[in-house]
Structure 1
Amino acid sequence: MSSPSPCSSSWSSQRYRIGYALSPKKVESFIQNSLINKAKQRGVDLIKIDPTKPLTQQGPFDCVIHKLYGSDWNNQLRQLALHHPNVVVIDSPESIKRLHNRISMLDVVTSLKIPPGDQTFGVPNQRVLDESEWIRLKK
């Protein structure tokens, strides 16, 4: 016997709790009442996470969506994963670490094998400046 599909009525009593931790600007643009209400109708509770409180004391969550960064926040996400391994975290600190480093991110792009065609594709030259170079260039 197969499992019921997520759209079947036997799953209608199942509720999912999705915690979100976003900057105030992103909350203002994305988390509208219409989204919260539509999610509720579909069995999803969107719960605002307070990043100033321990994440492990909030919830429970089935999933955490975030766009916050920093060592304190990353430690909270690691603690959550340690105490609640079944909670899906989008995106884990390990997943986004590479994207925060522009040089390593662009290394991936330059390694792509794109067949020649009418379009061109390239990555601009990049240079990392240390603080003394930056100060000198600002003058």
Structure 2
Amino acid sequence: MDTQTTQGVQVTVTTNYLPDYSSPGQQHFVFAYKITIQNNSEFTVKLLRRYWQIFDSNGTVREVEGEGVVGQQPVLEPGDSHQYVSGCNLKTGIGKMLGNYTMERLVDGKQFTVNIPEFVLIVPYKLN
């Protein structure tokens, strides 16, 4: 589990390798990641955008950006949390992701960046 807090917004990530959706012989490795966003600030915030960098151990780097997360732009009151699951595919069994969210404080419209902690994606048998 990886956690990082920016301006009172805590982001926690857990990952899972999905062997049933992967084909190692075809260089296709699928991972799921679960993100929990906890608003520990004193302001109501809205998640506007996401930005990801996805690194594969073969040297490939991909960038993904867009509105919201999995089709939603959640609004979080102080103390609220939002959780979602998404996925990523790699051509190797080892990689990592990192990124950020663009958030908005609803009280004054101020936008700010919340960092997503860097996390590794690794096939369990690579750890042996």
Task: Confirm or deny a common fold (TM above 0.5).
Answer: no
TM-score range, shorter chain: under 0.3
Higher relative CO (CA 8 A, sep ≥ 6), structure 1 or 2?
2
The structure with the largest alpha-carbon Rg is 1
TM-score (norm. length: structure 1): 0.18
Identify, as 1 or 2, the structure richer in helix.
Answer: 1
TM-score (norm. length: structure 2): 0.19
